[in-house]
Structure formats: C-alpha cells, structure tokens
Amino acid sequence: MSEPGERRGNGKPSRWEWVAAAVSTAMVVAVVGYLLYQAVGKPNTPPLLHVRADSVLRAGDGWLVQFRVDNRGRTTAAGVGVEGTLRQGGGEVEKSETTIDYVPSRSHRTGGLYFTRDPGRHTLELRPTGYDDP
C-alpha cells in the first residue's frame, strides 16, 4: 500500500493531481488579474456623496430624521459633513448638522439629525457639506 502523497507505481501524476493543479493555477491567475485591474484599471475618482432620508421619527420633544450617506466614488471620505434644512414658503425654518467619521468608497453609512419642528410639515433638504481626505 502506498503512503499519502506518494505517486502511483508508474511515477506519473494522477489525473486528479492535474485537475487540482489546473484549478489552483486558474484561481491564482484570476486573483492576480483582479488585483491588477483594481490597482490600475480605473482612475480614482473623488468621493461622490449622496444623502437621502430613510425615516422620520418622533424623538422626545423633537423629531429625528435618520439618513443614509452613499459614497459612489473610488476614494474614502473622512469627516463627512451632513446638513439638513427645513424650508417653508421659500424660507429656512430650521437647520441641523452632523459629521460622519468616514464613508469608505462604494459603501454607505447612516446617521441622524434632530429637529424641534416636524419635518413632515416642511420641505426637508439633506446634503453633504464637505469631507476630508483620510
């Protein structure tokens, strides 16, 4: 009886060894190709930030607007400022601001803004106000 890993009597690799070698080689080539594509295939774009409201909840004496910040760019944004404004009749009624620590490229983060007035009775505008390079 032969030991594990020992070749068959004729000294040639078995068919399964060739299959395993081919599959392993294909996987290594695919990973290296993907990494090269990510490194040089596309130019880095600045963070492309988009803010949208997810929900409005009653919170104690005020209101909480929960939001999501999407970064569609290829670089991370740090210190992302988010501003929410309640408007009525063309004028500003109330403003709230917060900062998200970071939003990695092609990902999202969530947060919340507090208001004393009901956002449901006003026009709510959310926007990113800026970011820092990490």
Indicate which CATH number applies to the domain containing 69.
2.60.40.1620
At residue 58, the pLDDT reads 95
Domain, as residue range, for 56: 49-132
**Count of domains for the chain:** 2
Q: Are residues 15 and 36 in the same domain?
A: yes
Q: Are residues 78 and 34 in the same domain?
A: no
Q: Are residues 76 and 111 in the same domain?
A: yes
Long-range contacts from 44-48, C-beta under 8 angstroms, 24+ separation:
44/74, 44/75, 45/73, 45/74, 45/75, 46/73, 46/75, 47/71, 47/73, 47/75, 47/76, 47/77, 47/80, 47/103, 47/105, 47/131, 48/72, 48/73
Per-residue pLDDT of the chain (134 residues; tens, 9 = 90+): 555 555 556 778 889 999 999 999 999 999 999 888 877 766 678 999 999 999 999 999 999 999 999 999 989 999 999 999 999 988 999 999 999 999 999 999 999 999 999 999 999 999 999 999 98
